[in-house]
Structure 1
């Protein structure tokens, strides 16, 4: 693989892949390791002619995440992702930063209450910005199933937030 192409892939997808992987393991160090391993696999095996590199990277990241969690044989606990949020500060006001952090933590916590497949679909849709067809390929389900599960996941997420007293208007 061309090093220029790999650099472009990394710059474009590193952050969102980290968030996706982190949603599996809730561990900063494990997510970093898996993200690096994902790009290493890209160096070793992805051809320049591959038609959808983003979907391929997500599929590799998903498989590596699942394997790493199985290998650890433990459930990781939720940790704050301060390092990532520190990168995003870029001069934002302190109040805005605090409110954004709180909202993101609330949403991330709520996502954890969804079943794994529904959680993955929402993360891939909104954080990974993948199409239903791409998500279907990654999860080995039909695009119609992705659409239905996405709809149900959003309803469950809204219900969870409302039941816990959060204003989502």
Structure 2
């Protein structure tokens, strides 16, 4: 049991943030991560080592998130709650978060998935185009194209909303 606790402690929080960026629902993200961590723990011995273990866990989380988004439950649930907490922040941290940061985060989460995921991996998780390409099963060029298009969409949305911050250009 101690080994399982260590496994969850090492990987749980970052996987929760990742799942949340896809499903935009804290409870669903927690369920996804729980499922991924249990399966990864059970199948630990069969890991082939073709990538880093972290990449393996991210890929499992992304796939499980896609499964959730395609599920009957998700498609028949009306999403009506506003984003109260972003990426597992505590209520105290959320209250202290500046309105511009909140607006930026909400605008990122409102982007189409293919743009949202590359922006999150690049800016929130500091992944390179090559690493993101591996995770998303696409080329680094496709990642950079999606990132550029996502930034442009984000700039337009933020400009319409009167956001006066800047979006850093990073490839």
Q: Calculate the TM-score normalised by the size of structure 2.
A: 0.77
Matching residue of 1:79: 83
CA distance in 1, matches of 2:163, 2:128: 29
Q: Deviations over 1:71-99 (max 9, x none)?
A: 2223634431279322774xxxxxxx645
Query: Equivalent residue for 1:111?
Result: 108
Q: How many residues are treated as equivalent by the alignment?
A: 159
Q: What's the CA shift string for 1:107-148, capped at 9, x where partnerless?
A: 221013322111111112222332222211221210111112
Which piece of structure 1 moves more, 38-47 or 48-57?
48-57
1:106 Cα deviation (Å)? Answer: 1.1
Q: Tell me, yes or no, if the aligned pair for 1:122 and 1:150 is still in contact at 8 Å.
A: yes
Q: Which residue of 2 aligns with 1:139?
A: 136
Mapped pair 1:159 → 2:156:
yes
Which sits farther off after the overlay, 47-56 or 137-146? Answer: 47-56
1:93 aligned partner: none
Change (3 A) 1:25 1:101: farther
Give how far 1:15 is off. 2.1
Q: Distance in 2 between matches of 1:83 and 1:144?
A: 28
Q: Does the C-alpha gap of structure 1 residues 82 and 13 become closer, same or farther in structure 2, counting only changes over 3 Å?
A: same
Mark the runs of 5 or more structure 1 residues left unpaired by the alignment. 90-96
Q: Distance in 2 between matches of 1:125 and 1:83?
A: 15
Q: How does 1:58-77 map to 2 (within 5 A)?
A: 58-71=58-71, 72=73, 73-74=75-76, 76-77=79-80
Find the residue that maps to 2:97 and give its secondary structure. helix
Answer with 64-73 or 44-53: which moved more.
Answer: 44-53
Map of 1:11 onto structure 2: 9
2:29 to 28, 31, 50: 31
What SS does the corresponding residue of 1:84 show, helix, strand or coil?
coil
Structure-2 separation of matches of 1:56 and 1:103:
34
Partners of 1:11 and 1:84 lie apart in 2 by 14
